[in-house]
Chain A
Amino acid sequence: MRANRLGAALAAVLTATLASCGSSEPAASPEAAQSPAAAATGPVKLTYWTWAPNMDKIVAAWNQEHPDIQVTVSKQAGGDDAAAKFLTAAKAGNPPDLVQAEYQHLPSFVAADAVADLKAETASIAGEFAEGLWGLVTLGTEGVYGIPQDSGPMMLFYREDLFDKYGLSVPKTWQEYADAARALRKKDPKAYLGTFSSKDPGAFTGLAQQAGAQWWSISGESWKVNIADEPTKKVADYWGGLVKEGVIDDMPYFTPEWNKALNDGRLLTWPSAVWAPGVLESNAPKAKGKWAVAPLPQWNAGESFSGFWGGSSTAVSSKTPNKAAATQFATWLNTDPAALDLLVKEAAIYPASTKAQSALGQAPGYFSNQPDFWQQAATVSAGARGFTFGPNVGVTYNTFKDAFDKALQNKTAFSGAVQAMQDATVADMRKSGFQLAS
């Protein structure tokens, strides 16, 4: 029932967007494109925008096996800019046939009618993905707007050697994490247990998901935006309190100073996602074998929840004349064992496919001290909960950066910044013509 209503709401949104941008492309007839062996007209040519490393090598394997469907990879810069660029290209009428779509951006693609519904073509593969991940590409509707590629369940990465040195035990709850942060400051005033990054809304979103936040939902014909809900405020004020107290640092992730702190052993933990080994390996190569992984601290002892940071799907552009061929490729890429093997080895992703997750054997080299790395990841992955993203995550995320920066600078409460996110998101959705429940 709920799914139907969301579908209706999305459809309403689609018509609104379409009406506002004028002409729409004629729908390609799926039957015509169904037989890819259209030898008379030469091979079907597809373009694919992605930023996963070495994707050209993986695609080369496909091209060799499928002379009638040739895919060209165009490596793009990832992140929010990539989403904006794809939306612009779709609006202008020349998007690529296939696009890598981060889960949080998929709803905005759907709202702009930029990606095709693959429901019919993907019915047989839905079971290959965990329900939570599949929900991120259906958005809780009847449609299927992409095929999950990778996922980023969150875990706690910590410096095992330094925990031993300072006599800290791995925190099981956020309360213990806070205590450990205070204890560490007393033992070594130069080191911090962690840092709160005001530049990485994705990390904050994952932590809010862990606490049970539901930022967007559908009620009847309209969206409900609830970013400033209790779990989110709880998470925000927890970190705000620690920063204010001075026991947690406030430098952003992925900056030179952060890298330096990791290298110097002045940062002992990083609540991050399963892809963290790659980042640590490149940015703090000296600490190899010194990091370990544990589940995220919990809000209530005994629970085992996590959230997602990152992860993306392969979506098919709604304007492509070769929808069937494109879907065939996207399906192969994300479910074929050989392709998944290449994705893991060449692109270094954590696959979304359940089978591929459990097939991961050897721990990443950086974590050779932790042979059960992937088993840990699979356990955490099972307890990870996401939520339906709204159609304007870009606005929400940008407001996160502005508002939390300001809160850090003026030393105001973090829950105020969360309220700013809520207000900006609602205002933007109103402006774009979405119907909102009060």
Chain B
Amino acid sequence: MASAHRLKAARAPWGVAPTGLLLLGAIYCLFPVFWVLIAATKSPAELFSTSTLSFGTGFLDNVTQLFAYRDGVFWLWAANTLLYAGGGALLSTAVSAVSGYTLAKYRFRGRNLIFNLLIGGILVPSVVLAIPQYLLFSKVGLADTYWAVLLPQILHPYSIYLARVYATAAIPDSLLEAGRIDGAGEGRLMYQVAIPLMVPGMVTIFLFQFVAIWNNFLLPFIMLGDDGKFPLTVGLFTLLQSGANQPSLYNLILTGAFLSLIPLIALFLTMQRYWKTDLSSGAVK
């Protein structure tokens, strides 16, 4: 009772301002999504002639057209995207978790150097690396393969940094000590003690990476020449830029963009519960 009262009193001077601010932020972020949703329902004739916020009547037609476009190449691109994003994010999460745990819990020569290099790596935008990476991959003959898109995204400095921070906070040294005294090897300690504790952090890393790879454009654009290996981003771009003398297939692009959002939304909604349950479950209370 008393604490609730105090909480209320503390909030009073600000009133609804923070909520309002957050609402504004939410509208700012969600409006474009909403716009894509509306635009995806419009037929080509309605797209530029009806009001921005009124729904159209062509959604099913658009979807049918999109799925029929070039014998259903949309599905191929979607499967590719899933492979890049899912596979890339899983591998990246695994690498980040192991590296983060190691950097957080072991003391070894060069640890700080490695960590500082990683911090430096965070400062280099991946966009800058795309072309050098392409030239490198060409040298080893891996350009225009699935690996060309997967490999560069596996090592992600920021995720390792995140994993290290998380491991430092979530895994008590005493727990590891207790494990060692009970005779567990280092491998077993990691897999059975440390990793389970890091799951919420790993979910975060997985989601970050999944979304980043899902939305990545430049790397696959440069790396891939074969349109059968394109992810959705690059594939939809070929619909947009079909040359100066061809009209852009706006309705298909918008529908494709909208459909490609759905898995992301679904993923966030299903992964959310890992955050809730695991953040509260600790070993040492």
Contacts and interface: CB of A to CB of B under 8 A. Distances in A.
Interface of A: 47, 49, 51-53, 56, 73-79, 81-82, 85, 88-89, 91-94, 96, 102, 150, 152, 202, 254, 256, 259-260, 262-264, 273, 275, 278-279, 281-286, 309-312, 348-350
A45 to B, nearest CB: 12
Given A49-B225, A263-B48, A264-B49, A82 B244 contact: no
B48 A283 contact: yes
Contacts of A202: 244
A84 to B, nearest CB: 9
B237 interface: yes
20 contacts: A51-B242, A52-B246, A56-B70, A75-B238, A76-B225, A76-B227, A78-B244, A81-B241, A82-B241, A88-B222, A89-B143, A94-B144, A259-B47, A259-B48, A262-B48, A263-B49, A275-B245, A283-B250, A285-B44, A285-B45
A85 B48 contact: no
Contacts of A47: 225-226
Contacts of A285: 44-45
Contacts of A349: 245
B131 A88 contact: yes
Interface in B93-131: 131
B240 interface: yes
Nearest to A349: B245
A89 B245 contact: no
Q: 9 closest Cβ contacts across the A-B interface?
A: A275-B245, A282-B247, A92-B138, A259-B48, A78-B243, A77-B241, A310-B244, A263-B49, A77-B238
B225 A273 contact: no
Contact of B243 (A256, A284, A286, A310): A310
Nearest to B70: A56
A94 B247 contact: no
A94 B225 contact: yes
B21 to A, nearest CB: 30
| B interface: dominant SS | loop
A65 B249 CA distance: 31
A152 B245 CA distance: 8
Contacts of A93: 138
Given A93-B138, A310-B245, A75 B227 contact: yes
B67 interface: no
B258 interface: no
Q: Is the interface of A mostly helix, strand, loop or mixed?
A: mixed
Contacts of A256: 48
B225 A96 contact: yes
A75 B48 CA distance: 27
Interface of B: 44-45, 47-49, 70, 131, 134-135, 138-139, 143-144, 221-222, 225-228, 234, 237-238, 240-250
A207 to B, nearest CB: 15
Contacts of B248: 254, 282
A51 to B, nearest CB: 5
A278 B244 CA distance: 11
B49 A286 contact: yes
B190 to A, nearest CB: 39
Nearest to A255: B48
Contact of A78 (B47, B138, B242): B242
Given A74-B225, A88-B134, A94-B143, A283 B70 contact: no
Given A74-B227, A96-B225, A312-B243, 5 more contacts: A78-B241, A81-B241, A275-B244, A282-B44, A282-B248
Given A78-B243, A260-B49, A275-B244, A89 B225 contact: yes
Contacts of A75: 70, 227, 238
A249 B247 CA distance: 22
Contact of A92 (B45, B143, B238): B143
A92 B49 contact: no
A150 B244 CA distance: 11
B127 to A, nearest CB: 14
A275 B244 CA distance: 8
Contacts of B247: 278-279, 281-283
Nearest to A274: B245
A51 B238 contact: yes
Contacts of B131: 88
A263 B47 CA distance: 10
